[in-house]
Chains A and B, each alone.
Chain A
């Protein structure tokens, strides 16, 4: 093989290696950026999930009220009525309310998918109002998310 031909072959190999390295770098960078976007979406979904702890006790279907004035508590009779209606829709979630004093518990919603990787759980204290007794009890709202 002549010296010139050898030089050209060498150059072709060098350029080929450079292109392969660039390509690998690009693929890696692209994948990391896509992963970053996916992480942002996951973070946002988790944020939305965490907001449920504030949204659920403030739902018109559950919130206490007297003569049209809302109060920061969950009306047990409305809760029971809402469960009976069966119209709740919180995709892939399980929502439980528990009276910490009497240990009564209500399953507001449960939509356990067939397959999930993990369960994220949050809870918050709530005030439960029993209109018939006109009494407030300490309760806890537990929300689980099948991810």
Chain B
């Protein structure tokens, strides 16, 4: 009787033990599968955003991307972002202005070309559709999205930048030089000076390279025309504060060449 009871107990211990093993196996499998699946989804979102940015980098236009799930795009460095704290991706050499964080199912993307005075690059803006953006000042920029408003005075909530003549002021008080509508929008969608400066530094580097390419081109454009003035302007060191002067001087020197019937540089 006692032996039979012991066997019965042993059976129960065995069944419970086997059950725990099988159950824990399924739980482990489920957890790992969920992790993998979410990693896969995050990779899909990050790649879709990156594809859109790459696709728009060679044209001026706007577009939006909608995902089946809400996602958080968080900036991790100057040109890298993470989707849902998981999949990290880089925009590479693309000049993208975007805030610290976008939490949405949808993402708006807009590109505008930057010319000073020659074409330098397409600036790419990543815009949160759930935020209201305010440009305070006397601007008149063509905007394709409803959440971007231009007002003379504003003291309410939202993402605000103040455009005062030659300067653009962020909400935190930092100021940058106003180089035109593209830069006003760049400051607006960056939301702060740090984010703005990340992409703006890249833009200035690109400007320098294109300027040097044109300088190289002037060596081939010799003959009966005098390219010494344009050459001299192209050797000048350009910083943010001298950009407008550089741009207008170079533009008029190029125009003069055209008026003289010479081959223009740009």
Contact = CB atoms under 8 A, between A and B. Distances in A.
Nearest to A64: B266
Given A47-B51, A48-B54, A132-B220, A78 B115 contact: no
B213 A61 contact: yes
Nearest to A81: B216
B40 A36 contact: yes
B178 interface: no
A87 B210 CA distance: 11
B29 A77 contact: no
B263 A26 contact: no
A77 B217 contact: yes
Contacts of A124: none
A1 interface: no
A60 B210 contact: yes
A119 B174 CA distance: 49
B18 interface: yes
B44 A78 contact: no
Contacts of A55: 54, 57-58
Contacts, number: 119
A48 B93 CA distance: 13
A134 interface: yes
A44 B216 contact: no
A123 interface: no
Interface string B37-60: 101100110010011001101110
Interface stretch (A66-74, A93-101, A102-110, A139-147): A66-74
A55 B111 CA distance: 14
B7 A65 contact: no
Given A40-B40, A48-B54, A132-B220, A68 B206 contact: no
A51 B216 contact: no
Interface in B22-43: 22, 25, 29, 32-33, 36-37, 39-40, 43
A4 B7 CA distance: 8
Interface string A117-137: 000000000000001101000
B51 A60 contact: no
B251 interface: yes
A87 B32 contact: no
A68 B117 contact: yes
Given A30-B32, A47-B51, A132 B221 contact: yes
A85 B212 contact: yes
A34 interface: yes
9 contacts: A11-B14, A18-B22, A40-B44, A44-B51, A78-B213, A78-B216, A81-B213, A81-B219, A85-B216
Interface of B: 7, 10-11, 14, 18, 21-22, 25, 29, 32-33, 36-37, 39-40, 43-44, 47, 50-51, 54-55, 57-59, 93, 115, 117-121, 206, 209-210, 212-217, 219-221, 251, 254-255, 258, 263-264, 266
Given A19-B25, A60-B118, 16 more contacts: A8-B14, A15-B21, A44-B50, A55-B58, A60-B121, A61-B209, A61-B210, A68-B251, A77-B221, A80-B216, A81-B217, A81-B220, A85-B213, A85-B216, A131-B217, A131-B220
